[in-house]
Amino acid sequence: MISYPVYKLIHILGILFLFSAYGGLALHVLGGGTKENAPKKLIASAHGIGMTLILLGGFGMLARIGLLTSFPGWVIAKIAIWLVFGGLLTAYYKKPEFAKILWFGLPILGTFSAYLALYKPF
C-alpha cells in the first residue's frame, strides 16, 4: 500500500510538471513563438506527465481518506479544475493575446484548487 504522504508527493510533482509546461509555453508565445517552432514534444510530455501524476496522486489521496465511493462537492470542483487545466494547452496558440492573462490566471486557479483541498468548503 502506498501511503498518503507518498500520494501527496506524486500529486505535487504532477503540479510542478504542469506549471513548468504552462510557463514554458507562455514564455514561448509571449516571445513571439508560434505553434510551428514550439518545442511541442517537450511541452506536451511535461503537460501529459503532470496531468497523469496529478490524477494518480489525487485519487490515491482520496482512497487513503476513504472518499472514493462518494465525491463531496470540493472533489467535483477539483476534477472540473483539472479538466480546465487539461484543455488550456491549446488556448495559448489560439489566443496568444491571452498569454499574459493565463500567466497570472493559472496560478490563481491553482491556488483556488489548493484552497478546496485544504479547507473542503463544500
pTM: 0.93
Task: Supply the DSSP string of 35-72, one letter for each residue.
Answer: STTS-HHHHHHHHHHHHHHHHHHHHHHHHHTT-SSS--
| C-alpha pair distances (Å), 20 with each of 7, 27, 34, 50, 64 | 20, 11, 18, 9, 28
Could you read off the pLDDT of 7-50 as tens digits, one per residue? 999 999 999 999 999 999 999 999 998 888 889 899 999 999 99
Could you read off the pLDDT of 68-112 as tens digits, one per residue? 989 999 999 999 999 999 999 889 889 999 999 999 999 999 999
